[in-house]
């Protein structure tokens, strides 16, 4: 049944693609990331699923949905691990952009809907709540402290990385799909053609 639903969805969205909007020349490209996690989402091993998207001028250029390698003991920890994974990709992308353009792109804004995970990343002092978290995930804390990453809280309904970690209701899915720039390219071409005819 699940396979049929997937095939039906693919058939119904064959004309969908990512729309990269025109940007004014001279404007700096803006890289923003969204990251989320579903805590203990796998009923068998209780591992969480991490999901993140990196948007360049509001168009997705990199995304991932993967099971976390360790069992998180809290939703805060699951979000912290997901944000650490996203941080690695975000830093790589901004380094690539700086190498290609020769310009400094400053810090990357990362949107997270878990305030506890943000506080954990901003706190340079290890304490009981974070002592057991593997050291490799504290790369996030290092990048926040040196100003390469700016963690920002976002409302759950604006967290577009939700579609990477859990099933959402149809209307919410469609809204989030539009928010990341995934659109019907045929409908867009027809709309543009009408504007040219009547414009």
Could you tell me whether strands 31-38 and 108-112 are parallel, antiparallel, or unpaired per DSSP bridges? Answer: parallel
The pLDDT of residue 66 is 92
The answer on pLDDT for 26 being more than 90 is: no
Q: How confident is the model at residue 70 (pLDDT cuts 50, 70, 90)?
A: confident
Please state the pTM of the whole predicted model.
0.81
Residues 34 and 159: beta-carbon distance below 8 Å: yes
Between CA 164 and CA 26 the distance in angstroms is 33
Please determine, for residue 104, whether its predicted confidence score (pLDDT) is greater than 70.
yes
Domains of the chain with bracketed CATH: 20-185 (3.30.420.10)
Q: How confident is the model at residue 198 (pLDDT cuts 50, 70, 90)?
A: very low
Residue 93 has pLDDT above 80, yes or no: yes
Which residue matches tokens 């979000």?
Answer: 79
* Average of per-residue pLDDT values in the chain: 83
Q: 8 in helix, strand or coil?
A: helix
């Amino acid at each position: 049944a699940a396979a049929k639903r997937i095939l039906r969805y693919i058939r119904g969205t064959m004309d969908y693609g990512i729309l990269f909007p025109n940007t004014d020349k001279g404007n700096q490209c803006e890289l923003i990331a969204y990251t989320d996690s579903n805590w203990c989402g796998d009923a068998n091993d209780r591992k969480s699923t991490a999901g993140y998207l990196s948007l360049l001028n509001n168009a997705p250029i990199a995304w991932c949905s993967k099971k976390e390698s360790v069992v998180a003991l809290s939703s805060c920890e699951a979000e912290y691990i997901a944000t650490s994974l996203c941080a690695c990709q975000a830093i790589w992308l901004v380094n690539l952009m700086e190498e290609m353009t020769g310009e400094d792109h400053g810090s990357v804004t990362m949107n997270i809907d878990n305030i506890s995970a943000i506080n954990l990343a901003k706190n340079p002092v290890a304490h009981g709540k974070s002592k057991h978290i593997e050291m490799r995930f504290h790369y996030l804390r290092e990048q926040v402290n040196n100003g390469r990453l700016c963690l920002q809280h976002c409302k759950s309904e604006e967290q577009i990385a939700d579609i990477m970690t859990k099933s959402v209701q149809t209307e919410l899915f469609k809204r989030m799909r539009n928010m990341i720039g995934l659109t019907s390219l045929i409908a867009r071409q027809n709309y543009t053609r009408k504007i040219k005819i009547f414009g």
